[in-house]
C-alpha cells in the first residue's frame, strides 16, 4: 500500500473510511438534538432546566476535549473512534430508557463526552491521512458530511416520533452510533502512523504550554470564528419570533439557510487549498458580520430569509476552517494532544457566542445583541487576517510554484 501522505490521494479510496462514520453519527445527532428539551419537559423539567439539559451536550464536549487528546495519543485515533461510538451507543441507550430527569441529563452529558472524542479522532485521522495540498478540501468535506447528517436526522426523527414516540429517536441514534463503530472496525486503517510508545508520549498540558503562543493568537481567532458561527443559529430564530414570523415559517427559513450552508462546503475547501486559508476565513467573518448588521432591519419572512441565506453562505464557505487551521498548526509529534486543546478553544467559542446574546439581551433589546455581535465579528476578521497567513503551510509551496512559473 502506498503511503497516505503522498502528493495526492484518491478521494474514492478514502470516502467511506473517512466520512462514513461521521455521516452515520451525525444523522443520529440530528435526530435527537431538536428533541432533548422536549424529553426533559416530559420528565417534569421547567423551561430553564430543560435548556440546561440541552446545554449539557456542549458542556460534555468542553469537559471531554483535553481527555480526548490524551486518550487518542494513548490508544490511537481508530481505537478512540470506536470507543467513542460505543460510549455514545450506551449513552443513547440510557436516554432511550430514561424515566427520570437525572438519567436523561447524565446520558446527554455522556453523549457530549463521546462527541469530543469522536470529533478529535476524525480530525486527527484525516490530518494524518491527507497531504497538506488537499487538507482543507478533506476537512471541509468532513464538516459537510456532518451537516448532511444533521440535515437528514430531524426528518427521520419526525417520522419515528410520530409513530413510536420520543424515545424511538434515541434508539435510532444509538443504532447509528453502533453502526459507525462496526463500520470503523471492519474498514482498513489507511494511515501509516503507529501509536507512540509510552516512554515517548507527551502529556497534553506540556504540549499546550509549549504552543501557548499559537493558542493565544491563532487559537483566539478560531474562538471568534466559532462564536460568530454559533450565534447565527441562535439569533435568527429569536429575531424571527420577535418580528412575528410563525414558527413553521421560521423553521423553513432556517432550513433554506442550512441548504445554502450544505452546498458550499467543498468550494470553500478548494479555495483554501488553492489560494490560502485567509481567503475563506476573512470573507466568512465579514459575511457573517454583515448579516448581524442587516438582521435588525428585517421585518417579514422574506427579508429575514434573505439575511439567513446570506449568513448560511458565510457559514458554508467556512466549513472545516476550524479543523483545517488546527491541523495546520498542530505539531506532527504530538498532534492529538494539541488538537484536544484546539477543540477546547473552538468549543468555548460555540458555547460563549449564544451566552453573549443572553448577556446583552439582559440589559438591552435583541437588536443590540446583533450589533454587538457584528462588532465582535468584524474585529475578529481583522485578527484572523493578521494571524492565519503566519500558520498557513500552503503559502511557501504556492510562492515556489509562482516563481517556477
Mean pLDDT, residues 217-239: 88
Same fold, 12-190 and 201-405: yes
pLDDT at 47: 67
39-64 tens-digit pLDDT: 888 898 886 788 788 888 888 999 99
Mean pLDDT, residues 1-10: 48
Alpha carbon distance 208, 108 (integer Å): 28
Alpha carbon distance 125, 145 (integer Å): 15
**Mean of the per-residue pLDDT values of the chain:** 85
pLDDT at 172: 95
pLDDT at 350: 84
In the chain, what are the domain boundaries?
Answer: 12-190, 201-405
CA trace torsion 39, 40, 41, 45 (10° rounding): 170
Say if residue 201's pLDDT is above 80: no
Would you place residue 405 in the very low, low, confident or very high pLDDT band (cuts 50, 70, 90)?
A: very low
Q: Does domain 12-190 have CATH number 2.30.130.40?
A: no
CATH of 201-405, one of 3.40.640.10, 1.20.1250.20, 1.20.120.550, 3.30.1330.10: 1.20.1250.20
Percent of residues, the chain, with pLDDT higher than 90: 38
Residues in the chain: 405
Query: Minimum mean pLDDT among 304-308, 357-361, 374-378: which range?
Result: 357-361
| DSSP character string of 249-271 | HHHHHHHHHHHHHHHTHHHHHHH
Could you tell me the three cell numbers for 58? Answer: 456542549
CA-wise closest residue to 149 among 27, 263, 28: 27
DSSP, collapsed to helix, strand or coil, labels residue 116 as helix
Could you tell me the three cell numbers for 320? Answer: 472545516
Alpha carbon distance 59, 112 (integer Å): 7
pLDDT at 5: 44
| DSSP character string of 319-350 | TTHHHHHHHHHS-GGGHHHHHHHHHHHHHHHH
Alpha carbon distance 73, 313 (integer Å): 36
pLDDT at 247: 67
Say if residue 132's pLDDT is above 60: yes
Say if residue 279's pLDDT is above 90: yes
Mean pLDDT, residues 90-112: 94
Mean pLDDT, residues 249-262: 78
pLDDT at 400: 42
Say if residue 102's pLDDT is above 70: yes
Alpha carbon distance 197, 226 (integer Å): 34
CA-wise closest residue to 185 among 12, 20, 3: 20
Amino acid at each position: 500500500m502506498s503511503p497516505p501522505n503522498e502528493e495526492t490521494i484518491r478521494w474514492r479510496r478514502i470516502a467511506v473510511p473517512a466520512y462514513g462514520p461521521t455521516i452515520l453519527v451525525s444523522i443520529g445527532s440530528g435526530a435527537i438534538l431538536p428533541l432533548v428539551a422536549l424529553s426533559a419537559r416530559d420528565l417534569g423539567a421547567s423551561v430553564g432546566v430543560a435548556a440546561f439539559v440541552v446545554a449539557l451536550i456542549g458542556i460534555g464536549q468542553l469537559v471531554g476535549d483535553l481527555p480526548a487528546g490524551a486518550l487518542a495519543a494513548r490508544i490511537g485515533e481508530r481505537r478512540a473512534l470506536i470507543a467513542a461510538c460505543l460510549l455514545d451507543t450506551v449513552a443513547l441507550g440510557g436516554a432511550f430508557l430514561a424515566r427520570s430527569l437525572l438519567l436523561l441529563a447524565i446520558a446527554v452529558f455522556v453523549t457530549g463526552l463521546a462527541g469530543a472524542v469522536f470529533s478529535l479522532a476524525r480530525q486527527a485521522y484525516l490530518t494524518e491521512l491527507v497531504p497538506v495540498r488537499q487538507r482543507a478540501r478533506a476537512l471541509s468535506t468532513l464538516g459537510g458530511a456532518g451537516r448532511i447528517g444533521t440535515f437528514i436526522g430531524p426528518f427521520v426523527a419526525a417520522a419515528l416520533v410520530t409513530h413510536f414516540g420520543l424515545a424511538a429517536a434515541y434508539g435510532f441514534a444509538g443504532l447509528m452510533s453502533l453502526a459507525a463503530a462496526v463500520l470503523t472496525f471492519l474498514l482498513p486503517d489507511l494511515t501509516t502512523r503507529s501509536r507512540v510508545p509510552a516512554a515517548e508520549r507527551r502529556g497534553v498540558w506540556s504540549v499546550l504550554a509549549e504552543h501557548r503562543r499559537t493558542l493565544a493568537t491563532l487559537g483566539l481567532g478560531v474562538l471568534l470564528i466559532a462564536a460568530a458561527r454559533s450565534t447565527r443559529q441562535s439569533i435568527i430564530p429569536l429575531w424571527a419570533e420577535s418580528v412575528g414570523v410563525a414558527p413553521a415559517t421560521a423553521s423553513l427559513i432556517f432550513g433554506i439557510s442550512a441548504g445554502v450552508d450544505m452546498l458550499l462546503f467543498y468550494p470553500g475547501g478548494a479555495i483554501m487549498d488553492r489560494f490560502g486559508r485567509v481567503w475563506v476565513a476573512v470573507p466568512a467573518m465579514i459575511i457573517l458580520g454583515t448579516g448581524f448588521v442587516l438582521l435588525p432591519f428585517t421585518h417579514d419572512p422574506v427579508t429575514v430569509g434573505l439575511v439567513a441565506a446570506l449568513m448560511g453562505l458565510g457559514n458554508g464557505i467556512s466549513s472545516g476552517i476550524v479543523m483545517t487551521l488546527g491541523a495546520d498548526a498542530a505539531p506532527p509529534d504530538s498532534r492529538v494532544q494539541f488538537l484536544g486543546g484546539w477543540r477546547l478553544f473552538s468549543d468555548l467559542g460555540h458555547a460563549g457566542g449564544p451566552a453573549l446574546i443572553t448577556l446583552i439581551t439582559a440589559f438591552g433589546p435583541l437588536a443590540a445583541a446583533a450589533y454587538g455581535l457584528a462588532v465582535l465579528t468584524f474585529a475578529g476578521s481583522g485578527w484572523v487576517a493578521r494571524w492565519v497567513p503566519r500558520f498557513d503551510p500552503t503559502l511557501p509551496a504556492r510562492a515556489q510554484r509562482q516563481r517556477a512559473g
